Amino acid sequence: MAVKSNEEWLGALRGSGLEHQQAIEELGETLKRGLRYALSSYGKVRAEDIDDFAQDAVLRVLDKLGTFQGRSRFTTWAHKVAVHIALSELRRRRWRDVPLLPPKELSFNQEAPVDVRDEDEGPEERTIRREMMRLVSEAIDNDLTDRQRQAMVAIVLQGMPLGEVAAHMDTNANALYKLLHDARKRLKRRLTEAGMPPEDILAAFQDG
């Protein structure tokens, strides 16, 4: 089969009739082959899932033909679209059956371990870091609502994607953003009142 140029791909996919249908089928088969290779290191992915990912990618590519700028081969661009769709769905499935911890189990009033990555950090620095963690724990326990605490734990500690947290909490992304924004404001106010600059707390989390 002759390799199509970018212009040939675009012309066939924007056209109609038999040439259009053949181009769609060819693109689907091309994306399936690419996905089998791209996902080979991800674990076992079912053949029917590969088919679904490729089909979804073809539809996405057709919808976004106008955004293709010709800086690469058309099939390379289409493969990137397909891989993004596949990985997004596989990540979503990984978290789909992971439950959020119920609010009654989310207690932070305990001595948090200090993860010291700087070998030169001495006893004084460790003490400061431990005090920061204690203040954060108390603030999370005492100043956040159950839903705020549940969302922060899921995202920060469990590492769950925001979209999955929103689905588990029966809300949408915008509402969850607002929930987290309000939670951060509450934490910042409590930490400021305690005489601990919130910037220092954030730096401690980033270092740890």
Residues 121 and 161 in one domain: yes
Residue 208 has a pLDDT of 36
Residues 89 and 179 in one domain: no
Confirm whether 1 is domain-assigned. Answer: no
**Mean pLDDT computed over every residue of the chain:** 80
Determine the pLDDT at residue 200.
Answer: 55
In which residue ranges of the chain is pLDDT below 50?
108-119, 203-208
On whether both 115 and 92 belong to a single domain, the answer is no
Range of the domain at 172: 103-207
Does residue 90 share a domain with residue 21? yes
pLDDT score, position 85: 93
Tell whether 91 and 119 lie within a shared domain. Answer: no
The pLDDT value recorded for residue 102 is 61
Structural tokens at position 12: 């066939």
pLDDT score, position 104: 56
Domain total of the chain: 2
- pTM score: 0.54
Domain boundary among 47, 67, 96: 96
The domain that contains 195 carries what CATH number? 1.10.10.10
| Shared domain check, 110 and 91 | no
59 and 122 belong to one structural domain: no
The string of pLDDT tens digits covering residues 53-81 is: 999 999 999 999 999 998 999 999 999 99
142 and 91 in a common domain: no
